Amino acid sequence: MNYAYDSVERELKKDLFRHLVRAKYTNSSEVSRNLITQFTDDLDEIAYSIWFIPNRLIYVAFTIFFLLTFDFNFGGKGTILPLLAILLGLFVVLLVVEMMLFKRASKLNLAAKKRQEEDNKIIYERINNLEYIKAVSGESYEEKKVGRQLDSTFRQNKKSLWYSTMFKAIPQYVIIPNIPIIFMASTLVFYSSNPKMGSVFLTANFVRYFFSVRNLNNEVNKIIEAMLTLDELSSSLTIVNESAKTLNRRVIPAEPSTPVPRLPFQNGDLIFQGVVFAYPKRPQQDILRNFSFTFQQGNIYGIAGKNGIGKSTITKTTLKLYELKKGQIFIGEHNIREIDTINLHQHICYQTNRPTFFRMSIAENVCYPNQYDQKDYDKLVRAAKKVGIYEFITKLPQGFNTVLREGGSDLSEGQKQQISAIKMFINDYDIYILDEILSNVHPNLKGVILDNIFARLKGKTVLVIDHHYEIFQYVNYIYQFTGEKLIRKDKQEFLENN
């Protein structure tokens, strides 16, 4: 009874978490992006809708016309011409300043929009795959970091909003409204010489000033509103972060129902360029320290190294389970940062001594994240035979359709490793990472399975990480990992001495 109640509660929490992460985060980020885009577009539109240059030229024409109706010889101290020249000069200066600010504002807006789009792309990708990552690897995938990144995007958005406001609104609503004031002041000087025309001119400028100020007021309100909305979104994000922390984090398998199209890779070279990496929990302790290396397609690399040196970390960074501190990782010409995580995992076969299983059938599990197709059944049978698990599966009541318990707790460790190895035969990957595979399989059987596996992996990029060096007889090169570099070892000598 209690158990049932607990599980219902757990399901609800999972749902809530899913909702918070998927819907809320994504939504907030999108709202913020739309807000910025709409706001900057609004400013553009307003700026152009008031005629920009023609509007200012009309001011000049009117000013000249009105001034010409006044006494040329104002007080015998000179002619109208110097005054006209000053007014025109002032006008040109204002126009140039305005145009410069406008240009700067447009540039800033464009940069802000571009940055926003890039940020969003990365954030969406990470959020959308959060559960997937947890499901396939059990890695926490830096939820807190995603939250922090979102917060900083918000702060940046707010900053760019301020910039665009300063650069666009100042010329628009501070300089331009004040031009009528300048005109009004200059009119007053001549008012006595032609009160009738002076009154008309003063009224016209006053009306213009009134509308400008009213416009300014509306726009300021709009800016304040935008700022408040961003603040609200920002605090709702904090709530999401807090809730996420307290919720049950149990792994939920990502839906394998949407087939992700495979991205064509030119080649399967795996390239590390100046990679610096530390786990988010211990940010000061760099595990990969300026690590650069190219694993070439067609070669099998054996990687040895003492415990905790960072061999598996090479794998985790390749699978994009974490963000790098510095540097880049490429597959062929593609920076993995640009590749969707699920898509990336369709190119990399990651085999470990602790494989993950979901509460779904054996067939579905070994095809994941691709979908199992009935017509692949024969392939499945052939693969199961190659890894020595066919007999066992056929004895199960539903064979390959037997649904496993979450984590595969109804299988022995060796059986889990054998079933997981089926993946290498039914899917076609570019890169294979074999991290202490088949460690629980009986040595006699393990030898046969390894023969089959390495026969299958010809022409691929293969990394073999292991402390049981017998497996290194299958590799082309042996390297010792130090955290900074891979040091080449003589294969024969290594196998003889270890």
Ligand X SMILES: Nc1ncnc2c1ncn2[C@@H]1O[C@H](COP(=O)(O)OP(=O)(O)OP(=O)(O)O)[C@@H](O)[C@H]1O
Question: Of these, 253, 256, 268, 310, which contacts ligand X (CB under 6 A)?
Answer: 310
Which amino acid is present at 256? P
Q: Is 139 or 410 the residue whose CB approaches ligand X more closely?
A: 139
Q: C-beta of 249: minimal distance to ligand X in Å?
A: 14
Q: C-beta of 466: minimal distance to ligand X in Å?
A: 9
Q: C-beta of 477: minimal distance to ligand X in Å?
A: 18
Phi, psi of 434 (to 5 degrees): -110, 100
Q: C-beta of 281: minimal distance to ligand X in Å?
A: 4
Question: Of these, 2, 246, 258, 307, which contacts ligand X (CB under 6 A)?
Answer: 307
Residues 280 and 178: their CA atoms lie apart, in Å, by 54
Query: Among 110-118, 214-222, 307-315, 334-342, which window interacts with ligand X (CB under 6 A)?
Result: 307-315
How distant is the alpha carbon of residue 175 from its chain centre? Answer: 40
Q: Is 2 or 307 the residue whose CB approaches ligand X more closely?
A: 307
Total binding residues toward ligand X, as defined by CB under 6 A = 12
Q: Is 281 or 395 the residue whose CB approaches ligand X more closely?
A: 281
Residues 454 and 437: their CA atoms lie apart, in Å, by 12
Question: Of these, 31, 35, 263, 309, which contacts ligand X (CB under 6 A)?
Answer: 309
Query: Among 181-189, 233-241, 252-260, 309-317, which window interacts with ligand X (CB under 6 A)?
Result: 309-317
Residues 273-292 vs ligand X: string with x where CB under 6 A? ------x-xx----x-----
Q: C-beta of 272: minimal distance to ligand X in Å?
A: 14
Q: Is 236 or 312 the residue whose CB approaches ligand X more closely?
A: 312
Q: C-beta of 282: minimal distance to ligand X in Å?
A: 5
Q: C-beta of 309: minimal distance to ligand X in Å?
A: 4
Q: Is 49 or 284 the residue whose CB approaches ligand X more closely?
A: 284
Q: C-beta of 229: minimal distance to ligand X in Å?
A: 37
Q: C-beta of 305: minimal distance to ligand X in Å?
A: 5
- Is residue 345 a contact residue for ligand X (CB under 6 A)? no
Q: Is 229 or 480 the residue whose CB approaches ligand X more closely?
A: 480
Question: Of these, 193, 215, 312, 440, which contacts ligand X (CB under 6 A)?
Answer: 312
Q: Is 27 or 498 the residue whose CB approaches ligand X more closely?
A: 498
Question: Of these, 157, 313, 353, 417, which contacts ligand X (CB under 6 A)?
Answer: 313
Q: C-beta of 308: minimal distance to ligand X in Å?
A: 4
- Is residue 308 a contact residue for ligand X (CB under 6 A)? yes
Q: Is 114 or 306 the residue whose CB approaches ligand X more closely?
A: 306
Query: Among 302-310, 387-395, 438-446, 447-455, which window interacts with ligand X (CB under 6 A)?
Result: 302-310
Which amino acid is present at 495? L
Residues 363 and 358: their CA atoms lie apart, in Å, by 11
Which amino acid is present at 317? T
Query: Among 77-85, 228-236, 258-266, 303-311, which window interacts with ligand X (CB under 6 A)?
Result: 303-311
Q: C-beta of 138: minimal distance to ligand X in Å?
A: 9
Question: Of these, 311, 320, 347, 489, which contacts ligand X (CB under 6 A)?
Answer: 311
- Is residue 305 a contact residue for ligand X (CB under 6 A)? yes
Three-class secondary structure assignment of 160-218: HHHHHHHHHHHHHHHHHHHHHHHHHHHHHHHHHHCHHHHHHHHHHHHHHHHHHHHHHHH
- Is residue 362 a contact residue for ligand X (CB under 6 A)? no
Residues 240-279 vs ligand X: string with x where CB under 6 A? ---------------------------------------x
Q: Is 198 or 305 the residue whose CB approaches ligand X more closely?
A: 305
Query: Among 43-51, 159-167, 300-308, 369-377, which window interacts with ligand X (CB under 6 A)?
Result: 300-308
Q: Is 313 or 420 the residue whose CB approaches ligand X more closely?
A: 313
Three-class secondary structure assignment of the chain: CHHHHHHHHHHHHHHHHHHHHHHHHHHHHHHHHHHHHHHHHHHHHHHHHCCHHHHHHHHHHHHHHHHHCCCCCHHHCCCHHHHHHHHHHHHHHHHHHHHHHHHHHHHHHHHHHHHHHHHHHHHHHHHHCHHHHHHHHCCCCCHHHHHHHHHHHHHHHHHHHHHHHHHHHHHHHHHHHHHHHHHHHHHHHHHHHCHHHHHHHHHHHHHHHHHHHHHHHHHHHHHHHHHHHHHHHHHHHHHHHHHHHHCCCCCCCCCCCCCCCCCCCCCCCEEEEEEEEECCCCCCCEEEEEEEEEECCCCEEEEECCCCCCHHHHHHHHCCCCCCCEEEEEECCEEHHHCCHHHHHCCEEEEECCCCCCCCEHHHHHHCCCCCCHHHHHHHHHHHHHCCCHHHHHHCCCHHHCECCHHHCCCCHHHHHHHHHCHHHHCCCCEEEEECCCCCCCHHHHHHHHHHHHHHCCCCEEEEECCCHHHHHHCCEEEEECCCCEEEECHHHHHHHC
By CB under 6 A, the residues from 103 to 162 that bind ligand X are none
Residues 461 and 332: their CA atoms lie apart, in Å, by 11
Residues 356 and 271: their CA atoms lie apart, in Å, by 26
By CB under 6 A, the residues from 164 to 203 that bind ligand X are none
Interface residue list for ligand X (CB under 6 A)? 279, 281-282, 287, 305, 307-313
